[in-house]
Amino acid sequence: MLNFLEKNLPKIVLAPTTIVMVICMYGFIVWTGLLSLTKSRMMPQWDFVGLDQYRRLFANPRWDVAVDNLFIFLILFIVIALVLGLLLAIFLDQKIRVEGAIRTIYLYPMAISFIVTGTAWKWILNPGLGIEKLMNDWGFVGFEFRWLVEQDMAIYTIVIAAVWQSSGFVMALFLAGLRGVDENLTKAARIDGASTIQLYWHVILPLMRPVFFSAIVILTHIAIKSFDLVQALTGGGPGYASDLPANFMYTFTFNRAQIGLGASSAMIMLFGVLAILIPYLYSELREKKS
């Protein structure tokens, strides 16, 4: 008996986590999936109506706006954060004297919650008293900046705040990657007469491929999950102009008592993450095997 216990200790140690995982992750996903096939409103109920909720979801203009916003946000957020992070990393990698201090400054926003970030930027972008007034006071009379309250522009304020928060992190990823580049390679390229720009473009950037890859996956993940930032910065407004899918899900599930519809939007979010995650994990695993 004791021998059996001793032999199976690792399994016994992992058992609670396994059980909780099966229930609270996979079981719950199935539960939400099933719920999305019912006509539940206030309370879960199990009248199955097939894909009706998904049809309603795709016909809902508010969901359309949320998905469009997600694409705008995703693309701008990822591209700007990547470019900025990479450039800052390359500049910081030039044997800069106060590198440690600068790195600390670039990265500190990552320690702050999206709620705080949203609150701060909401004030900075305040149409009457924020940047607009600052620019006017500095002599740029007539300068206008009221994206926060403009339907078509509110989503871009989310991009600004998210880039501010996350680009330092991308910088740290690239910096770690750059430090891992074999010096002999750069020396060889120098001897072959490559200019600095050629060196980075033809030798170093191709080596950063895995970093690009992880950074994109992480940023996508942050973007799809962004809920707090929208909630704090624009509240999804004006109207619902800056909603993201996560905010749509929350509003319809918890404020509007449409939990069937909310569940279907959650499932679409999951499929979105899977569409990015599965190729990523697949290529990671293949790399490890070869």
Partner 1 sequence: MNSFKLTKYNIGRTFIYLILIFFAFIYLAPLYVMFTTSLKDIEEIRSGNLMALPIDPTFYAWKKAWSSACTGSDCNGLAPYFWNSVRIVFPAVIISTIVGAFNGYSLAKWKFKGSEFLFGALLFGCFIPFQVILLPMAKLLGMLGLANTVTGLVLVHVIYGVAFTTLFFRNYYVGIPTELVRAAKLDGAGFFAIFRHIFIPLSTPIFVVTIIWQFTQIWNDFLFGVVYSGSGTQPITVALNNLVNTSVGGKEYNVDMAAAIIAALPTLAVYVIAGKYFVRGLTAGAVKG
Q: In this complex, which beta carbon is closest to partner 1, that of residue 58 or of residue 213?
A: 213
Planar angle of CA 153, 157, 162, nearest 5 degrees: 145
Give the residue, chosen from 143, 231, 237, 238, that forms a contact with partner 1 under the rule CB under 8 A: 231
Residue selected from 70, 109, 241, 261 as contacting partner 1 according to rule CB under 8 A: 109
Binding residues among 157-186 for partner 1 as defined by CB under 8 A: 164, 168-169, 172-173, 176
* Maximum CA extent, the chain: 84
Residue from 39, 126, 127, 203 in contact with partner 1 (CB under 8 A): 126
SS3 of residue 181 by DSSP = coil
| Residue 244 DSSP SS3 | coil
Asked if residues 115 and 231 have their Cβ atoms less than 8 Å apart, the reply is yes
Q: How far is the CB of 262 from partner 1 (least distance, A)?
A: 7
The pair of structure tokens assigned to 199 is 């060196």
Place of tokens 């473009």: 201
Q: Print the binding letters for residues 60-89 with partner 1: x by CB under 8 A, - otherwise.
A: ---------------------------xx-
Binding residue for partner 1 (CB under 8 A) from 66, 250, 251, 261?
250
Task: Kindly list the distances between the CA atom of residue 238 and the CA atoms of 57, 151, 179, 247, in Å, as whole numbers in the listed order.
Answer: 21, 6, 45, 14
Minimum CB–partner distance for residue 72 and partner 1 (Å): 19
Site for partner 1 in 7-26 (CB under 8 A): 9-11, 13-14, 16-18, 20-21, 24-26
Count Cβ atoms below 10 Å from residue 63 Cβ, excluding itself. 22
Region near partner 1 per CB under 8 A, out of 53-61, 63-71, 123-131, 200-208: 123-131
Kindly tell me which of 82 and 259 has the beta carbon lying closer to partner 1: 259
- Shortest spacing between CB 224 and partner 1, in angstroms: 6
Helix (H, G, I), strand (E, B) or coil at 194: coil
SS3 assignment, position 38: strand
- Residues 254/114/242/76 CA torsion (nearest 10 deg): -140
Compute the least distance from the CB of residue 179 to partner 1, in Å: 12
Q: Does the footprint of partner 1 cover residue 96 (CB under 8 A)?
A: yes
